[in-house]
Each structure stands twice: as C-alpha cells, then as structure tokens.
Amino acid sequence: MQRQRFGRTELQVSRIALGGIPLMRVPENEAVAVVREALALGINFIDTANAYADSEAKIGKAISGAPREELVLATKSQGTDAATLTRHLESSLKMLGVDYVDIFQLHNVSNQERYDAVFVQGGSLTWLQEQVKAGKVRYPAFSSHSVQMALTLMETNAFDAVQLPLNFIDREAEQAVSLARTLDMGFIAMKPLGGGLLPDAGVAFRYLLQFEDIVPDPGIETVEEIREIAAIVEASEGLTADDEAEIAHLREELGATWCHRCDYCQPCPEGIPISSVLLAQSTFKRFNAATAHLLVDKALERARNCTECGTCLPRCPYHLAIPELIKESLASLDTT
C-alpha cells in the first residue's frame, strides 16, 4: 500500500490506519487475524487506546515478531494526572510488547476542563514531554471530538499530531485539516464511516482520500472488512458524480443531530443502549424488518424507561439533547 509522510514527524505511514476499537469485541484469534491481514496488505499504522479493553493485548500478540521499525503504533490515555498517565502508558507498552510508542495521544480533550488539565503547571502536557525525553514516546499528540477545542490546541504548536472525526457528514473538521497542513502536523481521521452509520465504504473513503495528507482510521473487526477497505483505497480515483449525489442525500437524511456512536454517554443508569436507540431508524432503513427488530427491539424496550435524568448530557461530545432524541426516536418508530 502507498505510504505518505505524516507531518513533521517524518514517519512514513500507510494511506490508512487500522483502528483498534472493534478488536475488543471479537475473540483473540479473530482480532489477531485482522491485524496480521492488515500488515500483509501493507498497513503499518495501528491506532488503539488504553480505554479499548483488551485491544492492546490482541494487537501486541499479532505484531509479535514483526520488525518494530516498520510499525507505527499509536495509543491514548484519558488520564489527566501524571500517576494515571504513567500507569496507562506502562500498561500500553506491556500489552503491545514494545519499549516505546510512536504516537501518544491525550485522549478526548474536548472541553475546557480537559484543556486546563493539559496546560496547568506540571499537567499532562508536561508529563507527555517528559516521556518523549525518556524515549517511551516519540511524538506527542491528542484526540478530540470538538473541532473548536482542537483548533485551540493545535495553535499552541505543542503537538505533532491530532485526531478528529472526519467524514462527509462530519465536515467541520476540514478546517482543522487545513490548519494541520499549515502547521505540518499529522492528521488522523477517526470515524471515517461515521461510527458505522455510513453504508457505502467506497463513497466514504473516496471522500477522505481527496485530502492527500490525512490518515483515515477505520475500526475493523473482520478480515473481510480490511480487505474491502484496502481494495477501495488502492483503486480510488476520486469522487464521482454518483458519489456526490449519494453524499448530498445522506447529509439531508441524517441532519445535524445524528448520533456518532462513540458511546461516551454510557453507562446509562437505566441501562439504555443510547446509540442503538438513536440509530434505530437508520437500522430499519438498512436492514429488512425481521433483522432490524432483532437488532433494536430490546434497546427500544429499555429506552421506554428513560427518566430524563440528564446523566448522559454532559458526556456527549456533540452536545446532543439525548433524552429528547430518545423520545423522538420512539415516537417516530411507534408511528411506522
């Protein structure tokens, strides 16, 4: 697979990365097979996080024996103090079976409180810089779900890379792509398939590949998926007129209040699988009725127990009015 320069890090990375979130949902042997297939296809960039359950351990098993210098490994921590960050980094190194990670991201810096924890004297940025000096991290980075916060962080010029959601629905981050180019930062595009909501991988990746200096980071859980996406990337010749029409249709259909399936709103005190409820209408559009009912009926049943307690509201990085959207989803489905 084609390689490209990853900003001022000068790392040579594959045109796409392998996202580690879904690996925590599949058995170890299947996860290992996915990672090894990605490596065989020429994908050398793997992105994971301490928060992704056993994803790091599965990746570590899969890359055991591979030449370390040929891999680009990125991980993250949501810690805000030195003790937590150190514990997470040491755990990541152990699980991955390596002495250093290429990119370490302060995870989900999306609000003022998290920003302050980064830049306070002796805060997480100071800790991260110390890890670079110690050789355990090569390049400091951050991830965010807020474009405006990301732009503020980028303008400090304290980081070598940024990760933001970017797809043809989440287009706000295009301005961050432009700033990353100006600052010569690496850019990782999370949620290239909208958290699984965008049905046509071809359209999704052809949109992203028009930005020649970003790295889409799809979460993959099967060998078939990584083969399909790699083939799309290798064959991509840009957006077609049909692609543009499909993009316009989906933008209109999804609107500005769609759930990104990040699940940061969880856990719900009532056990409501919020993303499944908010995406239920899409599920019924994409699957036959019998399959859709199997996928969402239990979620919808739980949703009727919503007390509108608001626990989910400050957790949502997209500031969605979740209780209201749950009611709207139930009302819409009840009338169909």
Q: What is the pLDDT of residues 144-174, one digit of tens each?
A: 988 999 999 999 999 999 999 999 887 889 9
Is the pLDDT at 221 greater than 70? The verdict is: yes
Average pLDDT over residues 185-193: 94
Query: Residue 286's pLDDT is what?
Result: 58
Query: Residue 238's pLDDT is what?
Result: 83
Average pLDDT over residues 177-202: 89
Query: Residue 207's pLDDT is what?
Result: 93
Highest mean pLDDT among 126-135, 278-287, 288-297: 126-135
Query: Residue 152's pLDDT is what?
Result: 97
Confidence grade of residue 258 (pLDDT, cut at 50, 70, 90): confident
Count of other CB atoms within 10 angstroms of residue 190: 25
Contact between 189 and 216 under an 8 Å Cβ cutoff? The reply is yes
Is the pLDDT at 100 greater than 80? The verdict is: yes
Amino acid found at 176: A
CA 336 to centroid of chain Cα atoms? 33
pTM: 0.83
Query: Residue 69's pLDDT is what?
Result: 96
Stretch among 108-112, 172-176, 256-260 having the lowest mean pLDDT? 256-260
Supply 331's token pair.
């009302």
Supply 15's token pair.
């045109």
Residue 52 known to be catalytic: yes
Query: Residue 198's pLDDT is what?
Result: 76
Domains by residue range for the chain, with CATH: 3-246 (3.20.20.100), 274-334 (no CATH)
Contact between 295 and 287 under an 8 Å Cβ cutoff? The reply is yes
Contact between 190 and 163 under an 8 Å Cβ cutoff? The reply is yes
Is the pLDDT at 194 greater than 90? The verdict is: no
Query: Residue 274's pLDDT is what?
Result: 93
Q: Helix/strand/coil (H, E, C) string of the chain?
A: CCEEECHHHCCEEECCCEECHHHHHCCHHHHHHHHHHHHHCCCCEEECCCCCCCHHHHHHHHHCCCCHHHCEEEEEECCCCHHHHHHHHHHHHHHHCCCCEEEEEECCCCCHHHHHHHHCCCCHHHHHHHHHHHCCEEEEEEECCCHHHHHHHHHCCCCCEEEEECCCCCCCCHHHHHHHHHHCCEEEEECCCHHHCCCCHHHHHHHHCCCCCEEECCECCCHHHHHHHHHHHHHCCCCCHHHHHHHHHHHHHHCCCCCCCCCCCCCCCCCCCHHHHHCHHHHHHHCCHHHHHHHHHHHHHHHCCCCCCCCCHHHCCCCCCHHHHHHHHHHHHHCC
Query: Residue 256's pLDDT is what?
Result: 67
CA–CA gap between residue 54 and residue 50 (Å, rounded): 8
Is the pLDDT at 138 greater than 70? The verdict is: yes
Contact between 149 and 109 under an 8 Å Cβ cutoff? The reply is yes
Confidence grade of residue 335 (pLDDT, cut at 50, 70, 90): low
Query: Residue 171's pLDDT is what?
Result: 83
**Which of the following is catalytic: 52, 115, 139, 318?**
52
Q: What is the pLDDT of residues 195-210, one digit of tens each?
A: 666 778 899 999 999 9
Supply 39's token pair.
């490596």
Residue 85's φ and ψ, nearest 5 degrees, are -60, -45
